[in-house]
């Protein structure tokens, strides 16, 4: 084992150690704690980049790398697996972590105790869930990230947060019970929890066991769908995300993607072994659930009265699009979905941060007014006309926020020229052009549904965001200017610039996503790397002639 | 024995679910506890029910699979118990905070209806 091999466990060790040290410092030295947090998050970013670069190489040895914890062979011990998909998710997590942490440094991290340690433990849970190659370990890392997220959701306290967190905790505890039931059914029938070994054993199950295994997989799938916020299991999401403090909500954006990741990982592994259709993709159910989620999110966006909820429904829309895309199937669709995943996660995070900046110095009544103004008319509007104010100077801070809002609006509604458009276009393109049936000139019913759902939800997003924007920026109220620090604006700008970079470098990024999707299709490489790897301690290797 | 175990699991899960759907936070937390007992027993039962078979290797017992119980579900259930216990404790704190802030033990923080 070289140092490069040990890098695989670094994304779990770094936040664990950093969080532990922070707890020892016990909030007495805020600067030191914040400095450790920044250092640890940057270190995770560096490790994620290193893992991504290694996994992007073409030779099979570095595409899927396995780390044996405790150096037990994979059939007995627990493994970590770093392949392209895992490395991509790690990089996304670390990037999001950096931006949210940067934003929180202005004021949010002082709003309650233990923000930094909880933040690191959340990152640890996320990184672990993306790296693990074992179902029960996946459960443990889910619990780590959930436990941290409960604390973070309550960060800043207040009645709305406590009330939303209460629902969130109950729902996730029930989901964890379902997770355990699914896991134990799978263990009871297949006799292993190693994902790679499972992929091989499915084909060997006798019909009775196979039926039970499928029930276990379905129960497990429901648990993942709860995390992904799929309809009808995601009603908790907009309320919680709207109530959570901005940097926390921004990081939570990737938590729904963990559920999606688990479905994609297990689905692609079992698809290769079972020959064609995968039980985790649910034979059309996943697609239907995804499409329903998109529809629900579109209605929710139009009905939202404050921008926090609007952003929450946007998370649901992106989650639904991803599930429907995976349910639709095809390598081209998977690569488009991965591009969409990266773009939408960054965008929604930027939007959450921006919403918090815009809502400073605004009362709740303003938000309700923004929605009801059209319906009831307003005297304020006529007053404003009478005053005939020509050439109102726009303060610089409003102008900067306005530009950021415009960019976010373009990104989340999927209008050209930014990466949101490219991502949605790639999905639509693989519905129309790349799918096997479409080549013969036939677009399936599923294809039309997906096309319709994505376009209609984009339209709903445009309407909702435009309305919110007009009421925020083009009002004549003499409210105070929001007090915005440079760091906060910098965090938003960083996320938007990353989306711009995704747009400019769309070619190479799409090629990488294509390679990732191809790698998922060849689940044999993953299984082989986990199973076929000899028990290699450095000493054993030296002893061999 | 199979019947007793399965009836127990079913009864615990059913009671837990019923309590989960009740409007008071205290009923919800008891429901969650019962549900997690049911799940823990279920995990345990998935290692197959055996009487008098140790899960740890013993030199005096013949080294064959027939004379040992599966140790893995027992390890899993220990982890699940610890995590479930911690989460219940955390939920209890949030429950009390919610009760203190809203002055009501309704899950939504507000009383509905008469």
H or E element that contains A429: helix A419-429
Confidence of residue B106 (pLDDT cuts 50, 70, 90): confident
A173 contacts on B by Cβ (under 8 Å):
32, 36, 84, 87-88, 91
Q: Distance from A235 to chain B by nearest Cα, in Å?
A: 14
How far CA A410 is from CA of A252, A311, A321, A405, A424, in Å, comes to 22, 14, 17, 9, 12
Which are the contacts of A147, defined by CB distance < 8 A and separation ≥ 6? A121, A125, B86, B87, B90
Identify any residues that bridge with A79 across adjacent strands, giving them in sequence order: A68
pLDDT value of residue A362: 60
Residue B109 lies in a domain: no
> How many CB atoms are closer than 10 A to CB A371?
17
Q: Quote the percentage of chain A above a pLDDT of 90.
A: 25
Is A163's CB within 8 Å of B109's CB? yes
Q: Is the dihedral of CA A50, A52, A53, A58 positive or negative?
A: positive
Q: Determine the structural domain holding residue B75 and report its residue range.
A: 2-50+68-102
A333 pLDDT more than 90? no
Backbone φ and ψ of B112, nearest 5°: -110, 140
A540 pLDDT more than 60? no
- Give pLDDT tens digits for A166-206: 889 999 999 999 999 999 999 988 888 888 888 888 878 88
Structure tokens at A399: 């102008």
When pLDDT is averaged across residues B71-84 and rounded to a whole number, the result is 89
Residue B60 lies in a domain: no
Q: Is the dihedral of CA A491, A172, A77, A275 positive or negative?
A: negative
A373 pLDDT more than 70? no
Residue B83 lies in a domain: yes
Low-confidence winner among A272-281, A317-326, B4-13, B88-97 (lowest mean pLDDT): A272-281
- Nearest chain A residue to B48 by CA distance is A188
Residue B107 lies in a domain: no
> How many CB atoms are closer than 10 A to CB A130?
29
Is B46's CB within 8 Å of A184's CB? yes
Phi-psi region of B94 (alpha: psi -120 to 50; beta: other; left: phi over 0): alpha
- Greatest Cα pair distance, chain A, in angstroms, is 93
Is A140's CB within 8 Å of B83's CB? yes
Residue B46 lies in a domain: yes
Q: Distance from A180 to chain B by nearest Cα, in Å?
A: 7
A169 contacts on B by Cβ (under 8 Å):
87, 90-91, 94
Q: Distance from A279 to chain B by nearest Cα, in Å?
A: 21
Residue B13 lies in a domain: yes
C-alpha to C-alpha distance for B70 and B55, rounded to whole angstroms: 6
A517 pLDDT more than 90? no
What average pLDDT does chain A have?
A: 82
pLDDT value of residue B34: 94
B48 contacts on A by Cβ (under 8 Å):
188
DSSP A254: T
Nearest to B76 among A136, A150, A185 (CB): A136
pLDDT value of residue A281: 61
A154 contacts on B by Cβ (under 8 Å):
94, 97
Residue B58 lies in a domain: no
B40 pLDDT more than 90? yes
Q: Tell me if ipTM is over 0.95.
A: no
Nearest to A162 among B36, B88, B98 (CB): B98
Q: What's the CATH number where B77 sits? A: 1.10.287
Nearest to B107 among A166, A174, A180 (CB): A166
pLDDT value of residue A415: 83
A542 pLDDT more than 70? no
pLDDT value of residue A386: 46
How far CA A323 is from CA of A250, A289, A343, in Å, comes to 20, 8, 16
- Give pLDDT tens digits for A475-508: 755 566 677 778 888 888 889 999 999 888 888 8
Residue B61 lies in a domain: no
What average pLDDT does chain B have?
A: 86
pLDDT value of residue A405: 87
A56 pLDDT more than 90? no
Query: What number of C-beta contacts closer than 8 Å exist between A and B?
Result: 84
B83 contacts on A by Cβ (under 8 Å):
140, 143, 176
C-alpha to C-alpha distance for A304 and A160, rounded to whole angstroms: 16
Low-confidence winner among A64-73, A128-137, A262-271, A390-399 (lowest mean pLDDT): A390-399
A143 contacts on B by Cβ (under 8 Å):
83, 87
- Give pLDDT tens digits for A379-436: 444 444 444 455 556 677 778 888 888 888 888 888 888 888 888 888 888 887 755 5
CA angle B20, B23, B25 (to 5 degrees): 70
- 3-state secondary structure at position A77: coil
Number of folded domains that form chain B = 1
pLDDT value of residue A321: 92
């Amino acid at each position: 084992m070289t140092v490069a091999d040990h890098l695989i466990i670094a994304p779990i060790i770094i936040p664990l150690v950093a969080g532990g040290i922070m707890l020892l410092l016990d909030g007495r030295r805020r600067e030191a704690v914040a400095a450790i947090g920044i250092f640890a998050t940057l270190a995770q970013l560096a490790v994620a980049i290193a893992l991504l670069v290694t996994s992007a190489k073409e030779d099979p040895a570095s595409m899927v790398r396995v780390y044996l914890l405790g150096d037990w062979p994979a059939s007995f011990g627990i493994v970590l697996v770093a392949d392209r998909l895992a490395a991509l998710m790690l990089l996304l997590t670390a990037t999001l972590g950096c931006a949210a942490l940067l934003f929180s440094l202005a004021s949010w991290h002082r709003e309650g105790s233990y923000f930094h340690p909880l933040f690191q433990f959340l990152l640890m849970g996320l990184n672990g869930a993306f790296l693990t190659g074992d179902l029960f370990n996946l459960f443990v890392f889910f619990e780590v990230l959930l436990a941290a997220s409960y604390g973070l959701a309550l960060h800043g306290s207040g009645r709305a947060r406590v009330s939303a967190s209460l629902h969130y905790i109950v729902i996730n505890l029930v989901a964890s019970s379902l997770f355990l039931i699914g896991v134990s059914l799978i263990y009871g029938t297949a006799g292993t929890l190693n994902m790679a070994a499972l992929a091989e054993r499915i084909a060997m199950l006798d019909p009775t066991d196979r039926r039970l295994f499928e029930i276990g997989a379905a129960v497990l799938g429901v648990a993942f769908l709860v995390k992904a916020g799929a309809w009808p299991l995601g009603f908790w999401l907009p309320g919680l995300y709207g109530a959570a403090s901005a940097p926390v909500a921004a990081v939570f954006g990737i938590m729904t993607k963990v559920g999606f990741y688990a479905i994609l990982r297990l689905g692609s592994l079992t698809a290769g072994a079972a020959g064609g259709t995968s039980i985790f993709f649910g034979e059309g159910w996943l697609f239907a659930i995804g499409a329903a989620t998109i529809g629900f999110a579109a209605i929710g966006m139009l009905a939202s009265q404050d921008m926090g909820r609007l952003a929450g429904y946007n998370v649901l829309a992106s989650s639904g699009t991803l599930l429907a895309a995976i349910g639709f199937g095809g390598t081209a669709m998977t690569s488009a979905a991965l591009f969409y995943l990266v773009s939408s996660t960054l965008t929604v995070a930027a939007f959450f941060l921006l919403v918090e900046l815009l809502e400073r110095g605004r009362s709740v009544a303003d938000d309700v007014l923004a929605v009801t103004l059209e319906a009831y008319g307003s005297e304020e509007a006529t007053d404003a006309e009478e005053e005939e104010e020509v050439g109102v100077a726009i303060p610089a801070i409003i102008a900067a926020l306005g530009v950021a809002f415009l960019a976010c609006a373009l990104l989340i509604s999927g209008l050209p020229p930014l990466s949101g458009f490219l991502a949605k276009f790639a999905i639509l393109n693989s519905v129309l052009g790349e799918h096997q049936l479409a080549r013969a000139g036939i677009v399936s019913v599923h294809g039309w549904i997906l096309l319709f759902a994505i376009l209609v939800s984009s339209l709903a997003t445009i309407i909702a965001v435009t309305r919110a924007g007009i009421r925020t920026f083009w009002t004549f109220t003499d409210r105070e200017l929001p007090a915005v620090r440079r760091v906060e604006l910098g965090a938003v700008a960083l996320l938007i610039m990353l989306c711009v970079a995704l747009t400019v470098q769309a070619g190479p990024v799409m090629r990488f996503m294509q390679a990732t999707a191809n790698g998922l299709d060849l689940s044999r490489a993953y299984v082989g790397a986990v199973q076929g790897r000899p028990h290699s301690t450095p000493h054993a290797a030296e002893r061999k002639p | 024995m199979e019947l007793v175990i399965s009836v127990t699991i079913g009864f615990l899960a059913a009671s837990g679910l019923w309590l989960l759907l009740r409007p008071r936070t205290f009923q919800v937390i008891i429901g969650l506890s019962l549900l997690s007992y049911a799940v823990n027993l279920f995990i345990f039962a998935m290692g197959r029910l055996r009487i008098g078979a140790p899960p740890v290797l013993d030199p005096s017992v013949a080294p064959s699979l027939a004379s040992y119980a599966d140790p893995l579900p027992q390890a899993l259930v220990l982890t699940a118990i610890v995590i479930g216990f911690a989460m219940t404790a955390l939920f209890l704190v949030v429950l009390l905070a919610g009760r203190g802030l809203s002055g009501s033990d309704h899950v939504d923080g507000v009383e509905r209806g008469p």
